[in-house]
Amino acid sequence: VPDLRVHRRSAPQTVEHILRGLPDWFGIEEAIREYVADATTLPCYVALFGDRAVGVLLLRRHFPQSAEVHLLAVEKDSHRRGVGSALLAAAEADLKADGVQFLLVHTVGPSSDSEPYARTCEFYRARGFVPLQELKLIDWDGPTLILAKTILPRGEECT
């Protein structure tokens, strides 16, 4: 197995390629186009096996103390090989160095009964995210679950 590496770099074409390969999670054309556009402006992390890009993460910063995983996607053939975890770890290291205390993520909520998104939620919980609240109609036509994780303990944050 080639080494897994993570780089911070702009990669809109990689975002498009990976999202088009995940129709169970990203099936809405307009949403894909928005993520590709977002990839030209937001901080972007790319995971590579050798020279092959297998995963992407986009970050948004809301306040000095908090950030959000705007997009996280790993190509289907590379699931459960540590790619999503490596992308999160790289982003968290940079945010921690920048004094960010909380990392948030929005995903499809449990009341949607989506089996693929139930697995996504398992991943976030395994990575230390805690479910905070399920809200309806904030990102799409169905329920959104907001999860959060402490990345910098109280007292170590920048003021």
Ligand X SMILES: CC(C)(COP(=O)(O)OP(=O)(O)OC[C@H]1O[C@@H](n2cnc3c(N)ncnc32)[C@H](O)[C@@H]1OP(=O)(O)O)[C@@H](O)C(=O)NCCC(=O)NCCS
Residue 89 or 97 with smaller CB distance to ligand X: 89
CB of 148 to ligand X, least distance (A): 13
Report the C-alpha gap between 56 and 103 in whole angstroms. Answer: 17
**What does the binding site for ligand X look like in residue numbers (CB under 6 A)?**
22, 25, 72-74, 79-85, 107, 119-120, 122-123, 126
Give the shortest CB-107-to-ligand X separation in angstroms: 4
Q: Report how far residue 87's alpha carbon sits from residue 44's, in angstroms, rounded to the nearest whole number.
A: 10
- Nearer residue to ligand X within complex by CB, 147 or 152: 147
Angle of helix 29-38 relative to helix 12-20, nearest 10 degrees?
160
CB of 112 to ligand X, least distance (A): 12
Give the β-pairing of 66-74 and 52-63. Answer: antiparallel
Stated as kind and residue range, the H or E segment containing 57 is: strand 52-63
Smallest gap, in angstroms, from Cβ of residue 22 to ligand X?
5
Q: Which is nearer to ligand X, 25 or 66 (CB)?
A: 25
DSSP label of 83: H
Contacts of 8 (CB under 8 A, 6+ apart): 43, 44, 45, 46, 90, 94
**Distance of closest approach, residue 80 Cβ to ligand X, in angstroms:** 4
Considering beta carbons, is residue 101 or 120 the nearer one to ligand X? 120
Nearer to ligand X, 83 or 100 (CB): 83
| Partners of residue 102 on adjacent β-strands | 66, 150
